[in-house]
């Protein structure tokens, strides 16, 4: 049997040394990421992880590529009211759209058909064309049929 310590000092997983010396790769990012030294070797290699509600694959010796779905239920601070985009839009009967998860504060509320309109980080002012065939609840059956039956065109000012 080898005497205690004969094979060198014990290697501790997640020891502070690697993150202390290399963690700036992670913490100097926006948003600040967490540093993880996932192996037992004192090799200066760290991985960066995105903080919630951001998501993205861990970066090996580089910042992770973090993205944020501002319509996600996990993003409670994504707009100035403290509600996420989904909550703001759903409260108005609209859907939330975040077309580019790499850009913050770009989500919109989108009107649900037959209504049209979009609101930037707020509920949209939706409109409806009552002559449009997709408007099933409109007074003339939604297709301009009342006007057409009279030989007239349908106009919705």
pLDDT, one tens digit per residue, over 15-32 is 556 888 888 888 888 788
Nearest partner of 119 among 102, 95, 84, judged by Cα = 95
d(CA 149, CA 130): 16
Tokens of 127: 């409109």
Average of per-residue pLDDT across 88-93: 87
Q: Is pLDDT above 70 for 87?
A: yes
pLDDT of residue 9: 38
Query: What is the pairing mode between strands 95-97 and 59-60?
Result: unpaired
pLDDT band at 5 (very low <50, low <70, confident <90, very high): very low
Q: Which residues contact 28 (CB under 8 A, 6 or more apart)?
A: none
Q: Could you tell me which residue, 133 or 154, shows the higher pLDDT?
A: 154
């Amino acid at each position: 049997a080898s005497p205690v310590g004969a094979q060198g000092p014990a290697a501790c997983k997640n020891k502070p040394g690697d993150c202390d010396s290399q963690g700036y790769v992670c913490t100097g990012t926006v948003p600040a990421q967490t540093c993880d030294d996932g192996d037992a070797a004192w090799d200066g290699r760290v991985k960066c992880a995105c903080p919630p509600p951001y998501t993205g694959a861990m970066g090996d010796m580089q910042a992770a590529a973090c993205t944020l779905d501002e319509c996600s239920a996990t993003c409670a601070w994504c707009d100035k009211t403290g509600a996420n985009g989904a909550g703001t839009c759903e409260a108005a009967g609209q859907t939330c759209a975040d077309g580019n998860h790499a850009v913050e504060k770009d989500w919109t509320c989108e009107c649900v058909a037959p209504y049209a309109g979009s609101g930037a980080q707020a509920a949209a002012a939706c409109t409806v064309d009552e002559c449009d065939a997709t408007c099933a609840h409109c007074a003339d059956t939604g297709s301009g049929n009342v006007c057409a039956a009279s030989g007239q065109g349908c106009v919705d000012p």
